[in-house]
Chains A and B, each alone.
Chain A
Amino acid sequence: MTAPFYKFGYFNDEVSLIIAFVIGLFFGFVLERGGFGSGRMLAAQFYFTDMRVFKVMFTAIVTAMIGLFYFAWMGFLDLSLVYYGDTYLLPQIVGGLILGIGFVIGGYCPGTSGVAIATGKLDAIFYALGGFFGIFVFGEMFPLLKDFFYSTHMGKVNLPQFFHVSYGFVLLVVILVAIAGFTLVEWGEKVVAKKRTENK
């Protein structure tokens, strides 16, 4: 096992911040390049006119998921040292729902609003201000929300553990769902496009 490099102490915290900056550069570049700096493009997803968000997100997840599995299988990466948040099922379901509603009203998500502001989208500035305000409201309400926020804690649990199946099986299911999803949206986009031209 040699990875994750940081967890094995190959470099210190100062260096990790430089790495954060460089990774951010790539992250931002790829997001903009993919069209995620455009609120209309992000929203198009929810009207079935352009399914880029779905395609990009799902391809990215599948790519990183397979990579993780492969590196772990090779003995190169210790999966147990890869950090992801604990599951708090109910707060995450409610939070996801609120975030989804905010997504289609606001037109961005926190990361893409940064890219949008960088490329001159004025509405994204208002979005980010709203974001700060929402976090502030959450912070101020935190004493009230605390009990719910810490409820249904399930620890660091992944899908294979939860469903008592092997990691490889979940991997396969996700890949198959992705392929089915891509096929479906490619077909769906054509149907919607045809309808839109007929209506003109």
Chain B
Amino acid sequence: MFKFKEWFTHHLEDNVREGELTPYHYTNPYLIGLLLGLVLLATFVIMGRGLGASGALSTVVAVGVETVAPSAVENNDFYKGYLGDGTQSPFKDWLVFEVIGLVIGGFISGAIAGRTKMMVEKGPRFTNKKRFLFAFIGGALMGFGAKMARGCTSGQGLTGGAALSLGGWAFMLMVFAGAYATAYFVRRQWI
């Protein structure tokens, strides 16, 4: 194959399939941080806004609720915020397009690096079934929390952080506080 691919795949042996987590299978974290920062900066410069993720999920939920029970949406400002003024599809939304790109971009990177094998992310002492249950519970907490905080790690953490938003920084500190405080109780899942 060509050299470009080699450069990306010289650490093909994926650490997550090994017992130990070793960092060098992925690109250097500081370099990745720099690149991620430049993507964020480009978004600021081009769009005058930052990155996000949970907003796109909310659009899907809002449209789902509206489809099933239109009356439930009428008096609910939360759902309404994601449905727009009705002149165009709620999916014609900046974050929705960004997240579609994110999924494809993630796949391209994974494919180049040989990391697209079906698998379950968990520690060696945890069953798949339990892991799926925990993933669902964690996802639900995250969805709820992100809506309460008006954004997730991308929208509040990265974007708010770089823009020095007070709410963004308060949010981020609490994310780490919440996660570190809980880590001990779910350690069997991961280590």
Contact residues of A with B, CB < 8 Å? Answer: 3-7, 16-35, 37-41, 43-47, 49-52, 55-65, 67-68, 71, 77, 81-89, 91-124, 126-140, 142-143, 145-146, 149, 154, 156-162, 167, 170-171, 174, 182
A116 to B47 Cα, complex, angstroms:
26
User: Does B178 contact A47, Cβ atoms closer than 8 Å?
Assistant: no
Q: Is A95 in contact with B46, judged by CB distance below 8 angstroms?
A: no
B140 at the interface (CB under 8 A from A): yes
Neighbouring A residues of B159 by C-beta, 8 Å:
84
Residue interface bits B167-185, CB-to-A below 8 A is 1, else 0: 1111111111111111100
Q: Give the Cβ gap from A153 to chain B, nearest Cβ, in Å.
A: 10
Q: Is B21's CB under 8 angstroms from A49's CB?
A: yes
Contact of A4 (CB < 8 Å), options: B38, B46, B94, B156? B46
A–B Cβ pairs within 8 angstroms, 15 of them: A24-B104, A31-B36, A40-B123, A55-B33, A57-B153, A61-B37, A63-B38, A67-B41, A87-B165, A97-B177, A100-B182, A129-B136, A135-B54, A138-B78, A142-B76
Complex Cα gap A92–B131 (Å): 28
Contact A64 B40 (CB under 8 A): yes
A139 touches B153 (CB 8 A): no
B183 near A134: Cβ-Cβ < 8 Å: no
* Given contacts A5-B45, A63-B34, A110 and B152 within 8 Å (CB-CB): yes
Nearest 10 pairs between A and B by C-beta? Answer: A106-B138, A24-B101, A59-B33, A100-B178, A63-B37, A130-B139, A134-B143, A95-B149, A4-B48, A28-B105
A138 pairs with B144, CB closer than 8 A: yes
Cα A115 to Cα B163 with chains together (Å): 25
> In the bound complex, do residue B26 and residue A33 qualify as a contact, i.e. CB atoms below 8 Å apart?
yes
Over the window 135-162 of chain B, the binary record of Cβ atoms lying under 8 Å from chain A Cβ atoms (1 yes, 0 no) is 1111111111111111111111111111
Most chain A beta carbons < 10 A, residue from B27, B105, B168: B105
Given that A60-B37, A115-B106 are contacting pairs, would A28 and B101 also be in contact in the complex, using a CB cutoff of 8 Å? yes
Question: Are A134 and B141 in contact, with the CB atoms below 8 A?
Answer: yes
B residues contacting A by CB (< 8 A) are 15-16, 21, 23, 25-27, 29-30, 32-54, 57-58, 60-62, 64-65, 72, 75-79, 92, 94-110, 113, 115-123, 128, 131-183, 186-187, 189-191
Identify whether the interface residues of A are mostly helix, strand, loop, or mixed.
helix
| Cross-chain contact B47 with A104 (CB below 8 angstroms) | no
- Which residues on the B side are within 8 Å of A43 (C-beta)? 183, 189-190
Given contacts A40-B190, A62-B37, whether A20 and B167 have CB atoms under 8 Å apart is no
Identify which of A41, A50, A122 contacts B119 (C-beta below 8 A).
A122
Residue contact B161 to A94, C-beta cutoff 8 Å: no
Interface of B is mostly: helix
CB distance A129 to B139 under 8 Å? Answer: yes
State in angstroms the CA–CA spacing of A124 and B107 once bound together. 14
Interface contact A104-B143, CB-CB below 8 Å? no
Q: Are A20 and B182 in touch, CB under 8 angstroms?
A: no
Could you tell me if B152 and A99 are in contact, using CB atoms closer than 8 angstroms? Answer: yes
Query: Which residues of chain B are near A81, meaning CB under 8 Å?
Result: 48
CB–CB A17/B94 < 8 A: yes
B167 and A123 form a contact (CB under 8 A) = no
Q: CB < 8 Å: which of B78, B101, B109, B137 contacts A130?
A: B137
Taking the nearest CB of chain B, how far is it from the CB of A102, in angstroms? 3
Which of chain A's residues has its CB closest to B46's CB? Answer: A5
Q: Across the two chains, which residue of chain B brings its CB closest to A104?
A: B179
Choose among B37, B43, B95 the residue with the greatest number of A CB atoms under 10 Å from its CB: B37
In contact, A122 and B139 (Cβ under 8 angstroms): no
CB distance from B31 to the nearest CB of A (A): 8
Known: A98-B141, A127-B138, A135-B147. 17 other contacts (CB 8 A): A26-B39, A29-B109, A30-B109, A37-B115, A41-B21, A49-B191, A57-B153, A60-B158, A61-B162, A65-B163, A88-B167, A95-B148, A100-B175, A105-B138, A107-B135, A137-B140, A159-B165
